[in-house]
Amino acid sequence: MAGVFGVWPGPGRHPAGGIRAFRNLEVRSTQQRTLKRERALFQIILAIHILAAVIFLGNIITTAFWKVRADKSGNLEHMAMTSRSILLADYVFTGPGIATLLVTGILLAGLSGWERFQEMWLGLSLALLFLTAFIWAGVLIPLQLRMVRLSQEGLASGSLDPAYTRTSKRWSMYGGIATLLPIIILFLMVLRP
């Protein structure tokens, strides 16, 4: 009995086995292409995640530096300008940084498998980032708005209201916490304890 090409493939073999083997190769090739695309997507999202972390951490650390310098100068114009600039930098870098870290972090965990959220370091990192976002939006931004207002009033009147100093101290305390938490997150991300 002749097979597909006129030759019987042998006992226990199907004459169309070559076609099936080709289809299996085709499926494996498609799976490999999909896997490569997923890896590339993961790497792109990871790069965005790392860039967001660098910009976010850089902004919150340098913000404290410029704030301390402005306050120590005693120059009302410099203090008012720095307060406005910190608020602007938070709207441009801190807020989008937190949002980008949350979105890309969740996407990375999803691409790695949702069970990753059960790993202590990842769950703790996510909780600390949410806490950081809460402190930033719920405490620091209102304090910064108050410092901007008080510094503008001080600039107009020629003397700084003591409320500015009290507000600045609270901002420094909560800002220190909101800076320490992302540094802890950074160590958790790298060490994965």
More confidently predicted of 126 and 5: 126
Give the per-residue pLDDT at 115.
80
User: Rounded to the nearest 5°, which phi and psi values hold at 11?
Assistant: -65, 140
Q: Is the pLDDT of residue 43 over 90?
A: yes
**Cα within 13 Å of Cα(114), Cβ side:** 0
From residue 87, alpha-carbon distances to 57, 66, 143, 167 in Å are 16, 12, 10, 14
Q: Which amino acid, residue 42? A: F
Decide if pLDDT at 90 tops 80.
yes
Quote the pLDDT of residue 1: 47
Predicted TM-score of the model (pTM): 0.78
CA distance 187 to 60: 17
Which 8-state DSSP code applies to residue 120?
H
Higher pLDDT, 145 or 36: 145
Q: Please tell me the predicted confidence (pLDDT) of residue 35.
A: 82
Which residue did the predictor score with more confidence, 174 or 12? 174
**Residue 10 backbone phi and psi in degrees, to 5:** 115, 165
Query: Tell me, what's the pLDDT at 29?
Result: 72
**Quick one: pLDDT at residue 140?**
97
Q: Which residue has the higher pLDDT, 28 or 92?
A: 92
3-class secondary-structure state, position 5: coil
Q: Is the dihedral angle over the CA atoms 54, 57, 63, 64 positive or is it negative?
A: negative
pLDDT of 73 above 80: yes
> How far is the C-alpha of 177 from the C-alpha of 138, rounded, in Å?
13
Per-residue model confidence (pLDDT) at position 79: 94
Mean model confidence pLDDT for the chain:
87
CB atoms within 10 A of CB 173: 12
pLDDT per position as a tens digit, 172-186: 999 999 999 999 999
